[in-house]
Amino acid sequence: MALPRGLASSLCLSVFLFSFTFLFWGTSAEGNPNYRDALAKSILFFQGQRSGRLPGGQEMSWRFTSGLSDGSFANVDLSGGYYDAGDNVKFNFPMAFTTTMLSWSTLEYGRKMGPEIGNARAAIRWATDYLLKCATATPGRLYVGVGDPNTDHKCWERPEDMDTARSVYWVSSSSPGSDVAGETAAALAAASMVFRKADPKYARLLLSTAKKVMQFAMQYRGAYSDSLGSAVCPFYCSYSGYKDELLWGATWLLRATHDVSYFNFIQSLGANEATDLFSWDNKYAGARVLLSRNALVDNDKAFERFRQQAEDFICHILPNSPSSSTQYTQGGLMYKLGASNLQYVTSITFLLTTYGKYMSASRHTFNCESLYVDYILGENPLKMSYMVGYGAYYPKRIHHRGSSIPSVATHPQSFGCEGGFQPFFYTANPNPNVLTGAVVGGPNQNDGYPDDRADYSHSEPATYINAAIVGPLAYFAGSHTN
């Protein structure tokens, strides 16, 4: 592998390049996952998470319309969007990150998606239509969630049966939320580029709204966790603070507009915190990889420090690096945190794949076979696919209300708040509805997976897990003949 121009000859970077070669070069020794099938299912999953009035072309046929009165507590229409995971709450912070990652996946790998590009755009638009409502329904407010998470989590019922309070939450100049606003701006800006050719009018609306939301994020500084308290914590607290979202939002607006004022803002932030994570909460690494594109692809020296920061992040990820801070299971899976570990695996894999793409575009040899994606799809000690509906052996008892309770199609009567616990949550039987394409939280640090509905930290799927794997799957689907 040739060294990129201008790379420092540090030991860390040498190990980084060697590790890329070792981990990702060549063909997987075991099996040949059907990446194109996995890609289609990873996007189909989002239909199972839809809130609002479902369209006639809904393929996930066990789901039905829900949440049509969302927003009524504030006299606005906030129907639509996605339920974040196995519950019936709409948390905008992870939903916006999901949207940004789906958009980034489509921007980088859309040409490799084949017929799935239309489905990817539809998945993005389902979110952005909702986020636009949240940003424009009431002047001076950004709505950031619907549904009381504390009461919702006491229930086990289908979204179609919801009878809990659909409380509405927002941030404003007096109750700021720079983190959720910065992420919302990032989502709208990234999506605007996805629709630039497919729907120019919609793209312009997305971008103009993104600019206004980003201005709000920059002008009224504060963490939304401080403003909203138990409505978002401990569920989606902004643990990393809001500086990373300001960096992330400005980075996406810089890419969408090429307006130098966003670059100047990024420079003024001084967001130099080291990290070895990338997630719905911590965006530093993602912003640095995206900014490094300017250094690698455009050869713009003004972005060199971001390239170095991106490579420092990668040196914290790859094994055998002297600065690695990442554990791996014996089966070879990156292991960051015990709860929903695959969210970090999919997000970080996206960054590794995309940084490699930028290296390749700058005329430096790079080829990537993802050991982590193959692990998720079944190349692991249990030979289990952690994507529901993919392969012969996959999780059957996922922590997901709609999947675990019989569909309205087969049981029209409502079950009520606690009606789903005894017959469906506590049973050892498989879920009656297959949430095709859902990637669950994943195995434990010993590569074990009990397939237990109650073990939500391992068995619960989430939109932000799936959103991050779409890009790598598209890359591999476009690079292989299955």
pLDDT digits (tens, 9 = 90+) for 374-416: 999 999 999 999 999 999 999 999 999 999 999 999 999 999 9
Which amino acid, residue 151? T
pLDDT digits (tens, 9 = 90+) for 460-476: 999 999 999 999 999 99
Give the CA distances from residue 239 to residues 122, 252, 279, 436, in Å, rounded to whole numbers and listed in that order. Answer: 31, 22, 11, 31
Angstrom distance (rounded) from CA 400 to CA 383? 23
* Residues 95-144 pLDDT 10s: 999 999 999 999 999 999 999 999 999 999 999 999 999 999 999 999 99
pLDDT of 96 reads: 98
**Cα–Cα distance between 323 and 315 in angstroms, integer?**
6
Query: What is the token pair recorded at 459?
Result: 């068995």
User: Can you list the positions of beta strands (E) in 307-419?
Assistant: 327-328, 334-335
For 438, list phi and psi in degrees, rounded to 5.
-65, 130
30 is catalytic: no
CB 114 within 8 A of CB 473: no
Mean pLDDT across the chain: 91
- Domain ranges (residues) in the chain: 35-478
pLDDT (tens digit, 9 = 90+) per residue, 154-177? Answer: 999 999 999 999 999 999 999 999
Work out the percent of the chain whose per-residue pLDDT is above 70.
91
C-alpha dihedral sign at 341, 343, 346, 352: negative
- Whether 160 is catalytic: no
Q: What's the sign of the alpha-carbon dihedral 142, 147, 149, 150?
A: positive
In 3D, which of 180, 283, 298 has the Cα closest to residue 231? 180
Query: Omega into 234 within 30° of 0, i.e. cis?
Result: yes
DSSP for 381-415? TT---SBTTSSSS--SS-S-HHHHS--TTT--S--
Q: Which of 108, 148, 311, 460 is labelled catalytic?
A: 460
71-80 residue pLDDT tens: 999 999 999 9
Q: Is 176 exposed, middle or buried (0-12, 13-18, 19+ CB in 10 A)?
A: buried
Q: Distance between CA 231 and CA 152 in Å, rounded?
A: 11
Q: Give residue-wise pLDDT tens across range 188-237.
A: 999 999 999 999 999 999 999 999 999 999 999 999 999 999 999 999 99
What is the predicted pLDDT for the residue at 225?
96
Q: Contact, 133 vs 140, CB < 8 A? A: no
Q: Is 399 a catalytic residue?
A: yes
pLDDT at 324 over 90: no
Phi, psi of 327 (to 5 degrees): -90, 155
Return the axis-axis angle of helices 304-317 and 284-296, rounded to nearest 10°.
130
Angle at 297 between CA 300 and CA 4, to 5 degrees: 90
Q: Looking at 399, 400, 447, 458, which residue is catalytic?
A: 399
Catalytic residue among 77, 304, 369, 451: 451
Rounded CA-CA distance 335/317 in Å is: 10
Strand partners, 335: 327
Q: Which CATH number fits domain 35-478: 1.50.10.10, 2.40.50.140, 3.40.50.300, 1.20.140.10?
A: 1.50.10.10
pLDDT mean over 71-93:
98
pLDDT of residue 10: 33
Q: How far is CA 2 from CA 9, 192, 461, in A?
A: 12, 35, 39
The pTM of the full predicted model, rounded to 2 decimals, is 0.93
